[in-house]
Chain A
Amino acid sequence: MEGDTPQRETQSRNAPLAAGEKICPGCGTANHRDAAYCNLCQKSFLPAGVSRFAGEPAGGPPGAPGPLLRPAPMLSFYEAASRNVRMSLLLFLALFAAFLAVGGGIGSAYGSVGYGVALALILYAILAATAYFNGSSLVLSIHDAREADTADHRRLRNVVEEMSIASGIPMPRVYVMESPGMNAFAAGRNPQEALVAVTTGLFEKLNREEVQGVIAHEMAHIKSRDTLYNICAAVLVGTIALLADMFLRGMPFRGRDRSGGGGRGNVALIGLGILLAILAPIAAKILQMSISRQREYHADAMGAQFTRNPLGLAAALAKISRAGAEVPGENRGTQHLFIVNPLRDFADDASALLSTHPSTTLRIQRLYAMAGIGPADVES
């Protein structure tokens, strides 16, 4: 795999590079063969119009231009964290606006905008209350988690306590799930009532430093209230889908009731309502996924701030992607809670629009960037 590299002139590091490395057409620097952009001059190796983050590192499908344009990846802990918070807030507001618009659209089709909005908000309140007060115990029972209190879990509990000290939040409850796969999630509406759950495979196969990285990531989710965000977003999206469904089913009956009286304006409103009802669930789902992806990057950055060691989590992610991340009771409803999506094959292009997590390769690449190591040095 490794060969001599006599043509390296612009780079002075003496780390051996893999064969088939990419030579930057701009400045002649030798880069890793999977590099998405030049390590020295930051020129993108992807086809024009494809963002370095929207496409996969190996070059991506050339036909699909990525809709996302993001700044250069060399960010400090604090910059990464604040940028991700900003983006997530924006997306969360957009999701809420979409929710209100659908309510209003459906209401207007039935003659009263206020009525539709009110109905949407009431439904949302009921669902949100259920998720808010019973969400954590629901998730725990779905995934068959039990409290970690035996002597076998001493190291795990110690690591969690270390990270709770580093992050300055109270010690969360610790749960384990019986599974050879490696995965973890955090839940709870606030840091005082939070919990983290890990699979037995995770804390048996990872070393202390790597477990620390994973737990720090989960503590970051708790500290930045991602666990709350996730519940709210899931409830909002679920409700939009429900409302749209109700609207589509209700249409025929409404047409029969008042077939004589509808004006031209009314027809336009009904058309708008139908359009919203079709588009809303799709848009809502996309928004929910991108919230979740931003939050994963954010938690990676914040967790690195707690451990001051981005490479611990990077090593853990690499191990997880090799060994698999299956958990008991995995399903589509809770997949976005986990540190690595248990349902996704890692070979997939996980940076596609409809995925809950960024691709593990990209996450590792960003963690290395935080440690000051460019993608050229990352052995894949």
Chain B
Amino acid sequence: MSWIPAILAVVLVGWFVLSYNSLVRLRNQFRNAWHQIDVQLKRRYDLIPNLVEVVKDYMSYEQETLTRVIEARGAAISAKGPAEQGKAENVLTESLKSLFAVVERYPELKANQNVASLQEELTGTENKISFARQFYNDSVMTYNNKIQSIPSNLIASVFDFSQAEYFEVGEESRAVPKADLR
């Protein structure tokens, strides 16, 4: 019966290799997901100047809204650290929402082909940002499940796979947006 320990050893090594590799794969997946969020944020920074350029001739009375968008964009780009950046991004999202609300009030602006396509691009990018965050959180959940559950938690603790942080929305974006009816 000397082959029993040998088989056990093979099974154990096989389990170790598979578990370790899947932990590495999941860790890389959520790290990559984090960078995908940045890609979409960058794309939003690039789109905003175009939109402002097209819109500003029509909206001579709404300079304040435009200035808020431009300032929020600048603040978001220069923000340091995830917490500060998250806050700045939320301000930018809110300012864009109010800009779109203003666009709704200008029929000739709504009919403009450039504005329509830029609006579609920005809506798409907003969605991509939130789906990228959702995918990041999903990846973190899968990874955390793996490193906390038996038996893969043994490998995780020995090889220092530490728990990943979820992306959290700020308190201000959890509030219900107010409709400005005038």
- Please tell me if the beta carbons of B29 and A158 are within 8 angstroms of each other in the complex: no
B36 lies within 8 A of A158 (CB): no
Kindly state the separation between the CA atoms of A361 and B132 in the bound complex, as whole angstroms.
32
The listed residue (B40, B117, B127) touching A151 by CB distance below 8 A is: B117
Q: Give Cα distance in the complex from A154 to B123, angstroms.
A: 12
Residue numbers of B with Cβ under 8 A of A are 29, 33, 36, 40, 117, 120-121, 123-124, 127-128, 131-132, 134-135, 138-139
The smallest C-beta distance from A307 to any residue of chain B, in angstroms, reads 9
Q: Is there contact, CB below 8 Å, between A168 and B29?
A: yes
The reply on A155 being an interface residue by CB < 8 A is yes
CB-CB < 8 A to A166: which residues of B?
131, 134-135
A161: Cβ under 8 A from any B Cβ: yes
Number of residue pairs across A and B with beta carbons under 8 Å?
37
| CB within 8 Å for A158 and B121 given contacts A165-B36, A165-B128, A168-B33 | yes
Residue of B nearest to A208 (CB): B123
| 8 examples of A-B residue contacts, CB within 8 angstroms | A154-B117, A155-B124, A165-B132, A166-B131, A166-B134, A168-B29, A208-B123, A306-B131
By DSSP majority rule, is chain B's interface helix, strand, loop, or mixed?
helix
List, in ascending order, chain B residues with CB within 8 A of A165's CB: 36, 40, 128, 131-132, 135
Residues of B within 8 A of A154 (CB): 117, 120-121
Q: How far is the CA of A161 from the CA of B134 in the complex (A)?
A: 14
Q: In the bound complex, how far is the Cα of B128 from the Cα of A165, in angstroms? A: 7
Could you say which interface size class chain A belongs to? 10 to 19
Interface presence of A308 (CB below 8 A): yes
Residue of B nearest to A155 (CB): B120
Q: Find chain A residues with CB under 8 A from B33 CB.
A: 168
The 8 A CB mask of A135-160 against B (1 = contact, 0 = none) is: 00000000000000001001100110
B134: chain A residues within 8 A (beta carbon): 166, 308
